[in-house]
Each structure stands twice: as structure tokens, then as C-alpha cells.
Chains A and B, each alone.
Chain A
Amino acid sequence: MDEQEEPSQNNPVFDPTLPGRFRTLGTPHPILALRRRVESALLEMGFCVEEGEEIENLYDHHRALNTTREQPEGEKGEPFRIDDERILSTRAFPNLIRILQNKKPPLRFACSAKVHRRVVPAPDRIPVGFDFAGMLIDYDITFAHLKGTVEAFLKVFFREKRNIRFRPRALPFAEPAVAVDVSCPECRDRKGSCPFCGNSGWIPMMNAGMVDPQIFKQLSIDPESFSGFVFGMSIDHAARIVHRAHSLSSLFENDAAFRRGDFRL
């Protein structure tokens, strides 16, 4: 018995409503916690999940993205360069292709990776983030299976009902390719200016597409026998939506008090 505790317990005016003693547990990082949620959802859906490398060979990067040249600076930002041959990964997909080189279909595989993009930090974008990419290859896989799988993943991931919209977008490694939007959680509850969707009611969440036959050839897979699809998501962007955080940078920084006060997963 603790010597400072004993007198108060023996005291006739003992106050049993005084605060109890507890041990403070550590908290997970909100974005890493979400990364684990993504991985858990993928495992439930039968995907094998690996962690990607952070340094990437430029040749692998272009080959995986099915392009001989760099995309103009866009939403992903330019890569950080280490030398003529190497960059820091800007997305998980090239990592996925590298891992899959020695595997044979049918397969369901996913890779999550820490990525870096050369963007000037702002509340809604920072140079570091996390991405995942998944691929399913089998006989007779169609775009309908892509849609069904993405819908199932988002249902498991969000743990709540969200409307989903598919719209075309260009990805050099997928034909046809789509962007997947989910209904905005904020606009559902309130009217006026929405910091998440700009009042469109939709938030871009994922990209997906049927794997380009050229990618299959690189993986020594016969594109006439097998077909498949790829899908991916920026986990930090998803974290902003899940936690309804107005600023990505505040979500990313390692402020323990902010986390204890503001979120639990």
C-alpha cells in the first residue's frame, strides 16, 4: 500500500471520489494509424501487403508508370532527386511493380509506402506522405470487378455509408482509368463554404484503372490470358477527410497533446 495513500483511506473523511491513478498510454500517429487501417482492410479482402522502399530507381519509376518521360508537375509534385538514377518515391505504384516482378498470377497484392513530393509546405500539402497501391490480376477480370472491389474497400475503410462516384481520369499505366470520389462528410451536415470539397459535394479519394497491357508485358504476363486492375490512394489525404482536419500539416506534426484531445481511432 502506498504510504501517502494510506492515511486518507483510514481517515473518517476519506473522499473516495478523488481522481483515480492511471497510467498514460502512448498514442498512435493519426496518419500511421490510418495506414494500418488501410492495410487491415486490404488483408481482410485477401491482399498480401508489403512495405515499399523510399528510394527508387528512376528507370523503375518511369517503366512502372509506363512513360519514358516525366509528367508535367501536377498534383503529385516533382520528385526529390538523389542522383541521375535515383529519386525519392512519389507514389507507391512503382514499388508495387518492382515487388511483383517475380510473382505469377493470379494474385492480389498491395504495397504501402512513405513518399516524398517536392511541394512547398502549405496547410493542405506537405512534402512527406503515405500512399498505397493494390493490384489484382486473374482470368476474366473486368472493369466491373474494379468498381466492385473499390466500393468494397471504401466500405471497409470508412466504416460508414458514403456515396461513391467514378469519373474518368488519365493514368499512364492504366486504360481505362478512373478517379474515385466520395461524398463529402461536411456538406452532408451543413451548408455554406466547405473546406473539403469546395461545395461540390465530392472529394477525390482514389485512383484506379485496368492495368495497361504494356505493364503486363513488363511483368512477363500474357495480357490476352490475364487482365487486372490497380487502385491506390494517398493515405495522408484520406486521413484529412477521415479526421475532418482542416489542415494536413497539423495532422502530420507530432503534437502529443493535440492527438490526445482531438482524435481516437
Chain B
Amino acid sequence: MKIHVGWLRDFLPLRDDPALIKERLVSTGRQVLRAKGDVIEIQDGTLRPDLLGHLGVARELAASLALDMKPQLWAEAEVGAEISDDLDVQIMDEEICSRFSTLVIKSLHGQAQTGFVRERILSVGLEPADPVTDVIRFVMLATGQPVQALDRRALTGRRLLVRRGQPGETLRLPGGKDIPLSADMPVIADEKKPLALAGITVGEAAGIISTTREVVLISGIFAPDPAAAIRRRLGIRTDSSDRTERGGDFSLPPLAVNWAGRMLSGEDVPGLIDLAVRPYKPRTVVLRKPRIAELLGAEIEEAFIVRTLTALGFRLESQHAGIWQVKVPSFRSDIEREADLIEEVARFYGVDRLPAALPRRPLTAGEGTEARKGDAELRSLLFHQGFDEAVNSAFSDPEKAVWFGNENLALEIRNPLDLQSALLRTTLLPGLLGDLVLNLRRGAEGIHLFEIGRVFLRRDESPVERRSLALVTTGRLAPPLWLKSEPESDFFFLKGTCEGFLRELGFEAVSFRGEDFPCLQPGRSLALFVKGEKIGFLGRIRSDICEAFGIDRDVWGAEIDLAAMASKSSRVHRRYFSGSFPCVSRSISFHFPSGLNYQTIRDVVDRLSVPGLEDMSLSEWAAPDAESGSDGRMTLQFRVHFPGRDPTEDEADALFQKIVKALQGEAGLQLIQGGKIDKRTRKD
């Protein structure tokens, strides 16, 4: 809201310059967005209705600068009967309106006031409109209380009702847009039709136009929630609705319409109708001086407490020494408890002046969650593999989501920013592919990204969040070098990365099975299992998906359910050799038939559970020749450690014979040559 220093002087004998006023506003909790000349734009971030008017801001300054407020600009309103010659007013529902004031203005002769009003409107950067609109805006900006004006000719009959909207009713807004009304929307209506959204905006038919001669001024205290709901649902937000959303000052509606009426007609206007569903009862809160010291950690003088709260409009009655019964004024609906009053004291004492100290309890080390600790280790391993960390929003494009599966389980966003982000993501891969595009467009030749984030699935109509890891990789694995061309990313780089971090994180019984996935090219994709449970997939991203993203090269991607992975964790404590006993290593070559895959061989060896088998690696591999029908060839290298001793040749031979026999019998391998113990290594 824009505040004009000259306008504040209507309420307060201010002699200070705008810079000091700005400083006082900041020190008492207002955020100053801009300040230029006599205009200060503030944001207060509260639900206080009074701070959206110059009067409320002036009250704050009065307390801060120890000034007395000037006498109010308006006369006390003289309230008439509920029914006048002009109108019969009724609040039909007490839940939506607690006070409602109306005044009919039959002659608009307040020309003497309009120059002053225009000047004030201009001073806060607004464009003047017609005199009626200017006056009601003036009253609202001065007091914070919205006033609405209806053209009397729009009313059918004498009845003016505050009621709920009815299904099937519509209201045409200024500009010609029709909105449907519902029971949660408070409206001002005559006998036949709705005329305005209460406290928000007047319908087009009842709006003020150049030929308006007779005006019905209305102002009320309306329930704040409907105004917020209408803003959310229909996007209707006005200066009035901002104030209505904050509740309001129960005392103001009759004063505001009376003041507006006097300015429009140039004289006091009789016939004010003021309905209140119940008399106002000020809230009383007990304030204890010892409690102030307990909460703020500082002793504050009693005189300061009394002076500050009194200047803010509170009435203090001392019951015992240092204990007060505090009556809360009607414009401070935000004050409910003792802590609220203590905050007021701290605000005006100066929070920056209050002392600082560290808590006395001895400090002990904090603790993070297991998941976060696991993430740190995983992230570190991926950095070492050359993967950059990425982060994306939780949204996904419905058109793209269908390529990745699970689209039926995706949750919709009711109020998305755009159609391309209308779903919650069920996979991290589309976001990473988008990042890949950005990097490729900026000239990157090799991009390797990972994201650890959450995906969202609908289970039994409830959302479920799952922690997930995704990787994408394409292009060069290292910067160009004079020495030789560096290798490029491929399927086995991605698979090796997954195998590598799973091994380093201590996962056992990791295996892969060929399986098709919606986003991966058939025959180039694997499901990843840990201890027999599928926890993820990896493979080459389908070329048509890459094309749709604008990527014209091969991309490999993987996604792993981190929650499922964590549930299979059984941290393997690696045994390190003592220096005195070597590791036994042997290479064995086999022919293998077409159709046999490496995982089968791996499974056979794993099932054997050879004691001391440290590692099995594939050191040579040639595919079977499909044309000639000849078998493939592979060399497996085994490394075995006999804890605490040096094995004999016979012991080692027996162990390797067991492995060879199993591979021949269960996997159908044919032994080409068996080596003897050909290398002894020592490990630290």
C-alpha cells in the first residue's frame, strides 16, 4: 500500500521528514518497498485490517514518535431505524456478515470536497475517476474500510439484502464477464437479483455511471474466508477484497458510509441504517510484567509498557502491581493472547535493542537422517563418476508423461502455472532430459547428470512420495585432449556406474535382467534387482523420445527407487587383507553358446558362494557368430583370498575346479584352457 506523508498529517501532527518516518515504519515492523518524495510504499505481511489505511499507519507512528492523534475527521454517525423511507435492509445470514451499514445519497453536491479528494487520490499514484468512486476510494484508503456504491436505479423495490449466492444465479462484473454464484459467496441483492459481491466488487448493472443521480452507499464486516476463496477460485481480487480478507474494524462501517455521504452531498445526510447481528464486546487479555521479562529476556519499564499500549489504542486497567487487564480495540482483531501484547511491547521497544545470548544447555552433536547420510555417500560416488547434480521442479508435462509410463498414477495440479506443468512427476527422467537439451544447446559435448528427488504416485486415491535417483548420460566422458580421443558414454558406462556405486555402498546380490520399459529401446534395457527385488531400470532412451525433446544423439538413462534400495541395504564390511598373505588370481577361458547371457554365468557363481571369492571379472569377450553358428568366447578372471594363510596349489586348484564344473554343468560353458595360479598379488 502507498502511504502519503501529507495524508498521514490529516491524522497526526507530524513534523518529521519522510526519511525518519520510513525508518520508524521499518523499526516497528513494516517493510518499505519503495520511498520516493512524500510517498512510501509499504508491505506489512499481517492480517491486520487497520494497516491498509492511513489511519492505522498514523496510529503506529503516534506510538513510535510519542505523538497524540488529532481529533478524527468525521462526526459520529447518527443511526436511524432499520427501515427508512428509501430502503428495507436485512442481513439474511449472520455467518457471512456481522455488521452492515447503508446510506442513500439523493443529491451529489459535495463539489467543495472533490478537489481535496482528487488531490489525495493523485498523491498515492492513483488515477481519479468519477466523484463517487473517488470518494469511496478516499474513505477506504484513509480508514482501511471498504465502501461500495450502488446506483439506486438498479434496485428493484426497497429491499436490500445481504445473503448467500444461490445456485443458478450469475452476476455480471464490470467489463462484462458473468460469474456463477454459489452458496459460499456473500452477495448484496435486491428482491429479485444480486447486485454486488459483498466487500469485493459491484456488478456492472449497479455500477456508478455518468447519469447516476442517487447512490446507495454500503459498507460491512463480512466473513473473510469467502473473499479468499473467490480470489483463489475466480481470480477476482480488488482493493476492497484485500481488506475484506483481513476481517475489518467492527466500529467503522457506519462511520465510513457517513463520512463518504457527507463528502458526496456536502452536508450531513440523515437516514443511516446500521445493522449489527450482536453488540460489540471488546476482548480482554491479561498482561503480566514478569512474563514479558521471561519471554524477552530483558526487563522493560512499566511506564514504557503503559505508554506504548495506550498510544496503540489499548485500555489498560491495573489490577495488581505489574498485572493489567488490557481491553483490545476493535481495530486490533489480531490481538488474542498475552504473547500478542508482549510482541507489541517488543516491537516498539526495538527488537534490535534487546539482548542476545546463547542457550545454556551444553551443546551436543546433532544428527541427520539415515536417508540424508546415504544420499551424501551416493552423491559423492556419482561426482567421482563425472555426473553433475541437477534439481528440477515437481511438475511434468502430461503430453510427455505418457512416454515414461505410470501416467495413470500421476496426480494432477489443480492450479498449474501452465499446461506443460499440470501433473506431478512420476519419474525424474523427463526433467533430466530437459536439462540435457539446455546443456547441448549451450555447446556441451558430453553431459552426465543425476538427480536425487521425489516422485509422486497415486495409491488408493492418496498421494505417495517416493525418493528416487535418475541418471542420464550422453557424449564425451572427458574434455578433449591432445593425447588421444577420450571414450564416449554408452550403455556399459551407465551400467558400470550403477554397478560401481551399488558395490561401494555395500549392496549384495545385485543382478540385472533384460526387460522392456516404456521409455527405453527394446533389447537395450535392463531391470535392476537387489536381493531379488526390482528397484530400477536402465538402458537407452528411445530415439523417438529423444527426438521429441530435440536431442539428436544417443542418450542412456536409469532410474532407481531409493526407498526400495534402502530397504535392501545390508552394509557389507569389506575385509582388507593383512599384508603377509597374498590373493590368488586365475584366468579361465570358455566357449559359450548363443543365447547365454553374462548374468546367467554371474548367477551360477553367486549361487556357489565360494568362500573367499573376492571378485569375478570379465577380461575378454567375443560374441557368438550368428552366420557361422560358432560359439562365443570369454575369459573370466577370479580372485580368491584365503584368510590368515597362504593356500597350497592343490587347495587353489580344487576351488577353481569347483567353479569350472559348475559353469560347465549349469551354464553350458566349454572350458578352453585353465591356467594354473599365475599371479599372486598383495593388497594393502
| Interface residues of A, Cβ cutoff 8 Å to B | 2, 4-5, 18-19, 21-29, 31-32, 36, 39, 42-51, 53-55, 67, 69-75, 78, 80-83, 86, 88, 106, 108, 110, 114, 116, 118, 120-121, 127-128, 136, 138, 140-145, 147-149, 151-152, 165-170, 172, 175-179, 204, 210, 212-214, 227, 252-257, 259
A143 contact from B297, B367, B448, Cβ within 8 A: B297
- Which chain B residues in 427-482 approach chain A with CB under 8 Å? 435, 438-439, 442-444, 447-450, 453-454, 456, 463, 465, 477-479, 481-482
Measured CB to CB, the nearest residue on chain B to A71 is B47
**Given the complex of chains A and B, what is the CA–CA distance between A28 and B366 in angstroms?**
24
B113 to chain A, nearest CB (A): 31
Task: Check B339–A145 contact: CB distance below 8 A.
Answer: no
Task: A83-B414, A213-B339 given; name 5 further pairs at CB < 8 Å.
Answer: A28-B383, A78-B232, A149-B359, A152-B358, A166-B351
Task: Check B29–A26 contact: CB distance below 8 A.
Answer: no
**Given the complex of chains A and B, what is the CA–CA distance between A219 and B121 in angstroms?**
48
A252 contact from B45, B365, B391, Cβ within 8 A: B391
Task: Check A151–B361 contact: CB distance below 8 A.
Answer: no
Give chain A residues whose Cβ lies under 8 Å from the Cβ of B123: none
Task: Check B366–A116 contact: CB distance below 8 A.
Answer: no
Task: Check A43–B28 contact: CB distance below 8 A.
Answer: no
Task: Check B368–A81 contact: CB distance below 8 A.
Answer: no
B28 to chain A, nearest CB (A): 6
Give chain A residues whose Cβ lies under 8 Å from the Cβ of B463: 55, 82, 86
**Given the complex of chains A and B, what is the CA–CA distance between A18 and B483 in angstroms?**
9
Task: Check B483–A254 contact: CB distance below 8 A.
Answer: no
Give chain B residues whose Cβ lies under 8 Å from the Cβ of A80: 413-416
Task: Check A167–B366 contact: CB distance below 8 A.
Answer: no
Give chain A residues whose Cβ lies under 8 Å from the Cβ of B386: 23-26
**Given the complex of chains A and B, what is the CA–CA distance between A166 and B388 in angstroms?**
38
B638 to chain A, nearest CB (A): 27
**Given the complex of chains A and B, what is the CA–CA distance between A48 and B44 in angstroms?**
33
Task: Check A45–B295 contact: CB distance below 8 A.
Answer: no
Give chain B residues whose Cβ lies under 8 Å from the Cβ of A257: 439, 442-444
Measured CB to CB, the nearest residue on chain B to A145 is B359
A2 to chain B, nearest CB (A): 7
Name the residue among B43, B361, B367, B453 with the largest chain A CB count within 10 angstroms: B361
Give chain B residues whose Cβ lies under 8 Å from the Cβ of A118: 415, 417
What would be 18 A-B contacts, judged by CB atoms less than 8 Å apart?
A26-B450, A29-B388, A29-B389, A32-B389, A43-B367, A50-B368, A50-B369, A69-B225, A70-B232, A72-B246, A114-B394, A114-B453, A143-B354, A144-B297, A149-B359, A169-B29, A176-B339, A254-B390
Give chain B residues whose Cβ lies under 8 Å from the Cβ of A22: 478
Task: Check B413–A82 contact: CB distance below 8 A.
Answer: yes
Measured CB to CB, the nearest residue on chain A to B344 is A176
**Given the complex of chains A and B, what is the CA–CA distance between A19 and B343 in angstroms?**
64
B478 contact from A23, A51, A214, Cβ within 8 A: A23
A-facing mask of B290-327, CB < 8 A → 1, else 0?
A: 00001111100000000000000000000000000000
A148 contact from B337, B358, B367, B444, Cβ within 8 A: B358
Task: Check A214–B26 contact: CB distance below 8 A.
Answer: no
Q: How many residues of B are in contact with the other chain, CB < 8 A? A: 97
Task: Check B359–A254 contact: CB distance below 8 A.
Answer: no
Given A48-B366, A82-B463, A176-B343: A26 touches B389 (CB 8 Å cut-off): yes
Measured CB to CB, the nearest residue on chain B to A211 is B339
A15 to chain B, nearest CB (A): 10
Task: Check A27–B383 contact: CB distance below 8 A.
Answer: yes
Give chain B residues whose Cβ lies under 8 Å from the Cβ of A212: 337, 339
Task: Check A26–B366 contact: CB distance below 8 A.
Answer: no
Task: Check A254–B449 contact: CB distance below 8 A.
Answer: yes
Judge if B387 is at the interface, Cβ distance under 8 Å. yes
Task: Check A143–B443 contact: CB distance below 8 A.
Answer: no
- Which chain B residues in 9-60 approach chain A with CB under 8 Å? 26-29, 31, 43-48
Give chain B residues whose Cβ lies under 8 Å from the Cβ of A253: 435, 438
Task: Check A2–B372 contact: CB distance below 8 A.
Answer: no
Task: Check A49–B26 contact: CB distance below 8 A.
Answer: no
Task: Check B297–A145 contact: CB distance below 8 A.
Answer: yes
A26 contact from B376, B382, B391, Cβ within 8 A: B382
| Interface residues of B, Cβ cutoff 8 Å to A | 26-29, 31, 43-48, 224-225, 228, 231-232, 237, 242, 245-246, 294-298, 334, 337, 339-340, 342-343, 346-347, 351-352, 354-361, 363-369, 371-372, 376, 379, 382-394, 411-417, 424, 435, 438-439, 442-444, 447-450, 453-454, 456, 463, 465, 477-479, 481-484
**Given the complex of chains A and B, what is the CA–CA distance between A212 and B343 in angstroms?**
11
The 8 closest A-B pairs by CB, nearest first: A142-B297, A144-B297, A168-B29, A147-B356, A176-B343, A175-B339, A170-B46, A43-B366
Give chain A residues whose Cβ lies under 8 Å from the Cβ of B334: 170
**Given the complex of chains A and B, what is the CA–CA distance between A19 and B365 in angstroms?**
45
Given A26-B386, A39-B372, A256-B444: A72 touches B359 (CB 8 Å cut-off): no
Given A168-B347, A175-B340: A75 touches B367 (CB 8 Å cut-off): no
**Given the complex of chains A and B, what is the CA–CA distance between A70 and B384 in angstroms?**
46
Name the residue among B337, B343, B449, B450 with the largest chain A CB count within 10 angstroms: B343
**Given the complex of chains A and B, what is the CA–CA distance between A206 and B678 in angstroms?**
65
Give chain B residues whose Cβ lies under 8 Å from the Cβ of A204: 31
Name the residue among B26, B343, B351, B379 with the largest chain A CB count within 10 angstroms: B351
A140 to chain B, nearest CB (A): 8
Give chain B residues whose Cβ lies under 8 Å from the Cβ of A44: 365-366
B373 to chain A, nearest CB (A): 11
Name the residue among A23, A50, A72, A149 with the largest chain B CB count within 10 angstroms: A72
Task: Check A46–B454 contact: CB distance below 8 A.
Answer: no
Measured CB to CB, the nearest residue on chain A to B340 is A175
Give chain B residues whose Cβ lies under 8 Å from the Cβ of A69: 47, 224-225, 228, 245
Task: Check A55–B456 contact: CB distance below 8 A.
Answer: yes
Measured CB to CB, the nearest residue on chain B to A74 is B45
Give chain A residues whose Cβ lies under 8 Å from the Cβ of B465: 53-55
Task: Check A136–B359 contact: CB distance below 8 A.
Answer: yes
Given A147-B354, A175-B339, A254-B449: A72 touches B369 (CB 8 Å cut-off): no
Measured CB to CB, the nearest residue on chain A to B28 is A168
B357 contact from A106, A136, A148, A214, Cβ within 8 A: A148
Measured CB to CB, the nearest residue on chain A to B485 is A4
Give chain A residues whose Cβ lies under 8 Å from the Cβ of B449: 254, 256
Give chain A residues whose Cβ lies under 8 Å from the Cβ of B339: 175-176, 210, 212-213
**Given the complex of chains A and B, what is the CA–CA distance between A69 and B245 in angstroms?**
9
Measured CB to CB, the nearest residue on chain A to B391 is A29
Give chain A residues whose Cβ lies under 8 Å from the Cβ of B484: 2, 4
**Given the complex of chains A and B, what is the CA–CA distance between A110 and B392 in angstroms?**
23
Task: Check A32–B391 contact: CB distance below 8 A.
Answer: yes
Give chain A residues whose Cβ lies under 8 Å from the Cβ of B392: 128, 254
Give chain A residues whose Cβ lies under 8 Å from the Cβ of B347: 168, 176
**Given the complex of chains A and B, what is the CA–CA distance between A179 and B29 in angstroms?**
8
Task: Check B352–A165 contact: CB distance below 8 A.
Answer: yes
Task: Check B439–A255 contact: CB distance below 8 A.
Answer: yes
Give chain A residues whose Cβ lies under 8 Å from the Cβ of B44: 170
Task: Check B294–A149 contact: CB distance below 8 A.
Answer: no
Given A46-B365, A75-B45, A214-B337: A21 touches B438 (CB 8 Å cut-off): no
Given A31-B391, A54-B454, A136-B359: A175 touches B343 (CB 8 Å cut-off): yes
B487 to chain A, nearest CB (A): 12
Task: Check A127–B393 contact: CB distance below 8 A.
Answer: yes
A167 to chain B, nearest CB (A): 6
Task: Check B372–A51 contact: CB distance below 8 A.
Answer: yes
**Given the complex of chains A and B, what is the CA–CA distance between A45 and B364 in angstroms?**
8
A253 to chain B, nearest CB (A): 6
A151 to chain B, nearest CB (A): 6
Give chain B residues whose Cβ lies under 8 Å from the Cβ of A140: 294, 360
Give chain B residues whose Cβ lies under 8 Å from the Cβ of A74: 43, 45
**Given the complex of chains A and B, what is the CA–CA distance between A255 and B435 in angstroms?**
7
